[in-house]
Each structure stands twice: as structure tokens, then as C-alpha cells.
Structure 1
Amino acid sequence: MSTTQQQDNSTDRTLKAKHRALWASGDYPAVAAELIPALGPELVTAAGIRPGQLVLDVAAGSGNAAIPAAAVGATVTASDLTPELFDAGRRIAADRRVELEWVEADAEALPFADNGFDVVMSCLGAMFAPHHQATADELVRVCRPGGTIAMINWTPQGFIGQLFATMKPYAAPLPPGAQPAPLWGTEDHVRELFGDNVVDLTFRRQTIRIDQSPSPIEFREYWKRNYGPTIAVYAFNQDRPEQVANLDRDFLAFLETWDQSTDPGRTSYDAEYLLVTATKPA
């Protein structure tokens, strides 16, 4: 192996370690359960998952989609770069009396054989892997010919995409070659990534309403406590109090602007996402 290859491998391992730590921070299982519980079952329905199918959930987190897939009778493997999320997933699965396999795995280099699954899906997970083409190629590779690929991804224009845009001026720069996650929420980008490797590629833009927090300022603090990417941005600025204050100000202004509720003591946000389905050619 050349020195350059060794350096590239070392850089990639460092990047993946940071990603794992990011999603292990805070409480993503709470975010998934409290803010977006309906998206997992919706993806299962959109993918047409049936009893007996072999299903892989890529970047499954705590199983927001994997557990509903198992509940309909599929044989499910939930994979994620951050196995710290699996404990919560196992508890949820046990409460719902379903069984599935949990496997630590990098979405850009999945440890599964070619053509091994009837359905390969990802609910707001694979979109956060830094190298989009590698991720798309892996989703296709492990899907069987004639099988289904299905994803839910936040759009750049929607609430979560704009949350990331608000944090971007305060965030660490992306490493060379890495791409911003919300690009997965644009039809042209997804079309380019999958290319001729899929057929019947369909897109549907939809929204989910998030209305669990009583005020914008309390909702800001919720993100700061629970959501890994937000925690990482604040950690990046922890030695710069003025930047933290500016981020707090901009974050609150963003939440106030996007709040659609007119009722005192309530907030309401419509978060847009892109539902993607495709078929691997037989």
C-alpha cells in the first residue's frame, strides 16, 4: 500500500470515528421517537415490505424503520455505524415483541454480500454518510435484482435542511470529498447518484408536522441536548463565547421564523422530506 493510500485510509477512519461519536452524543433515539415516529412506518409502506422478505435498514439508528419492518413479518437486519444506538433499539423491539438483527456497519462499505436483500432502505440515515456516490453504490450492490431501494431524506429547502443552513456558518468545514447531507433531498442529485443502476425511480415530497415543544427557545434547547449535529456545532465553538451567543441568537431567530403555530404555549413546524423509491434491474 502506498503512503498516499495509507494517509487516505487513516483520514477516512478518523472521519468515521467522528461521525460515530457525533451520533452517539445526545439522544437520537429520543429525537426519532418524539419528533418523527411516523416516518419509519411510512417508509415500510412505501417500500411495499411484506412478510418473509429479507430487509436491510442502512444507518438504522435505533430502528425507526427497521422495527416496523420486522413487525409486518420481514426478516430484518438493522445496520449502523453507531452501535451505541442499538441498546435503545433493542428495548423498543422487545417492547413491541419483534426480533431483528443489529449489525455495526459503514453505509459506504457494507459488510454484506452482493444481491442479498429484497429491500434496502434508509430513513434519514444513509444521507448523512459523507461520500454520497459510495453510499448509493452500496445500496444498489446489496439489493437483489428486482428488489426495492427506498429512502426518506430531508430536503435542503425544508425545516431540517434550513436548520443545517443556519448552523453551517458556525460548523467545522466539511472534509475534502465530503458532501452535505441535504443534497440527498434533491431529485437531480439522487438521480445522478443512482444513474442507470436503478429503474422506476420515483420521488415524492411530503412534510411531517413537528409540534412537541411549547416555545422556540425550549425547542432550541431540545436540539442542543439531543441532536448530535447540533451538539457538534456547539462543541466546535465552545471556546468562543461570542460565537456561541451568535449561534444561539440565529438558531432562535430561525425557530421563531419557521414556527407556524398561533396558539400560546405551542410551536408547529412542517418539515419537508423526499421519499425515494427505485428498483434494481432484474
Structure 2
Amino acid sequence: MSHWDKGSYEVTAEQIAPAAPVVADAVEPVSGQPALDLACGTGNEALILARRGAEVTGFDGAPRLLSVAEERLREEGFEAQWVQGDLAELPFADDSFEIVTSVFGLIFTGNAPRSAEEIARVLRPQGRLAFTSWVEDGLFKTMQDMSKAAVAESFGQATPEGADAPFAWGDEVAIRELFSEHGLMVQVEQRNLVIEEDSALGLNDRWFDLHPIWLTMKDAIGEDSYEKLREETLPIVEGYNEADDGSFRYTLKYLLSEGSPV
């Protein structure tokens, strides 16, 4: 399990921030509507929802990130509820929210069926759900596969097969089926998000030096194996680079899922 309070997730949160208004557009919040942002992180989506008039509750497993999100909203004059907990056990009453959102956060749940059931429970009958997830290929998936192999090697094991969080959420059919089992009709479409950095080296180092997932893995495999992996991933990152001026640019495909109870 990753320790999301490690490092500085703020860097990655800034890179994926353009997806937040996309999710807000999908749920169309109006003034006074109660909205729950799951795995809210540093508050990208919560802030957009608050700006559009929603009564926001931010939910996350990391206390430090909740504090960051709370401060961001207060700086703009917004108050919200902030709750720490598990995505598979939402501590809210039935039919509590008109809106439920998540920007690349729900996908890290340890129990997808249970989380879908919980979302259906807390969402009102006329409510709206929208969330984003990574697709099953591309740079992020390649990096995930390399990290899995490195961890397995460090423990003398074979690399585990099969999709796991967060990339198990990259299957459009599986997403629709998951929520339909709990009375939610979900539509899924592919979107693009452009990731930019000063250089491929800069992006690779930011991940290894600052990202909570990578730093958690460092604790598991040790410094030497971690630095070896850093060297091995750099040419992979460079291979995905779309820029030709020495900087880094990559068009990341993701899925936008949106729906309502039926």
C-alpha cells in the first residue's frame, strides 16, 4: 500500500489539474448541492466544485493532503468538510450527496466492487457521478509494469500477472458493468491530458524523488535497486516524449466515466 503523505504529491496534482474542470462539467454542480470528492488529494476537484457553488466534502486517506486541500479552499474563501477514511467504507448516510466525483483517485481503492456499492449508497436517486481513470497502455502503464518487476525481483519472485489498480480501471466495459450491478448507468469516453515538463530527465527525477507511490516502493526495494530502476526508466520516458526542443511533452489518454442511478 502506498503512503500518500510521503514526498510531495502536489507536483503530480498540478500536472493532472486540467482534468478537474472536465469532471466538474460532467456533473454540472449548482449552488448549494452537496458534493463528495473521493480521494480528493490536494483539492483540485474540490476547489472547482466550490467555485461553482457546491457544498463540498473532501474525502481522502492521507491526513497531510487533506490539510493541503483545506488550506487551498480557505485561501479562496471557501469552507468544506474534510474526512479521512477508506474508499471502500464511506462514513456517510444513504442518499447524502447530489454529486460524487474523483479525479484519478477512486482508481486506487483496494476493493473496487465495495467502493462502487458505497458510491451507489451515498448518491441520491437523481444524483450524478463522474470520475477519471488511466487507460491500460501508455507511459504510466509501462512505468507501473517496470516497478512491479523491480519489486518482484528484489524479493526473488516472479512478476505478478494481470491488471491491478489503478489500471484495472482502464477497461470501459468493466467500468460500466461494475456500476450497473449497483443501479448506476455509466457512460465512458476517452479524453486526453497533456503532461509537460522541462525535460524527460526532470520528469523522471520528479517521480522518483517526490511521488508517494515511488517513495513507498523505495522503502520496499532499497536504495541501490531504486537507483537502478531510475536509470532504467529514463530511456522509457524519453521514448514517449513528443517534444523535439529538449523539453518533455506527452499526451496522456484517460477515461472519463459519468452516470446516474437508474
TM over 0.5: yes
Alignment of 1:92-131 (within 5 A): 92-131=72-111
8 Å contact kept, 1:25–1:231: yes
| Distance in 2 between residues matched to 1:219 and 1:25, nearest whole Å | 18
> What code does the residue aligned with 1:204 have?
E
> Which residue in the other structure is 2:177 paired with?
192
Residue 251 of structure 1 corresponds to which residue in structure 2? Answer: 233
Task: For 1:152 and 1:113, locate their aligned partners in 2 and report how far apart those are by CA, in whole Å.
Answer: 24
Q: Which of 216, 227, 235 in structure 2 is aligned with 1:232?
A: 216
Give deviations 1:9-45, integer Å, cap 9, x for gaps: xxxxxxxxx44xx111011123212x12211121111
AA paired with 2:26?
A: A
**How far apart, in 2, do the equivalents of 1:138 and 1:171 lie?**
32
Match of 2:21 among 34, 41, 44: 41
CA contact (8 A) 2:92 2:122 kept: yes
Contact 2:139 2:237 in 1 (8 A): no
Report the TM-score when normalising by structure 2.
0.90
Normalization by structure 1: what TM-score?
A: 0.84
Q: Establish whether residue 207 from structure 1 lines up as the match of residue 192 from structure 2.
A: yes
Please tell me whether the aligned partners of residues 158 and 273 of structure 1 are also in contact (alpha carbons under 8 angstroms): no
CA distance in 2, matches of 1:244, 1:183: 25
* The one of 164, 169, 176 aligned to 2:144: 164
Residue 59 of structure 2 corresponds to which residue in structure 1?
79
Q: Are 1:181 and 2:163 matched, yes or no?
A: no
Corresponding position: 1:217 with 2:198: no
Q: Secondary structure at the match of 1:122?
A: strand
Displacement of 1:216 in angstroms is 1.5
Take 2:256 and 2:138, find their aligned partners in 1: how far apart are those partners?
A: 13
Query: Following TM superposition, by how much is the alpha carbon of 1:245 offset from its aligned partner in structure 2, in angstroms?
Result: 4.3
Seq. identity, %: 27
Q: Deviations over 1:156-215 (max 9, x none)?
A: 21332332123221236999xx9421111211221231124244421111111111x222
Q: Which amino acid aligns with 1:197?
A: H
Contact 1:67 1:100 in 2 (8 A): no
Gap change, CA 1:200 and 1:134, over 3 Å in 2 = closer
* Per-residue Cα deviation, 1:95-140 (whole angstroms, up to 9, x for no partner): 2222211111211000001111001111111110111111111111
Distance 2:16 2:58 in 1: 18
Task: Give deviations 1:72-106, integer Å, cap 9, x for gaps.
Answer: 00101001111211221122112222221111121
RMSD over equivalenced CA pairs, Å: 2.0
Structure 2: tracts of 5 or more residues without a match: none
Shift of residue 47, structure 1, vs aligned partner: 1.4
Q: Which residue of the partner structure matches residue 244 of structure 2?
A: 262
Moved more, 143-152 or 180-189: 180-189
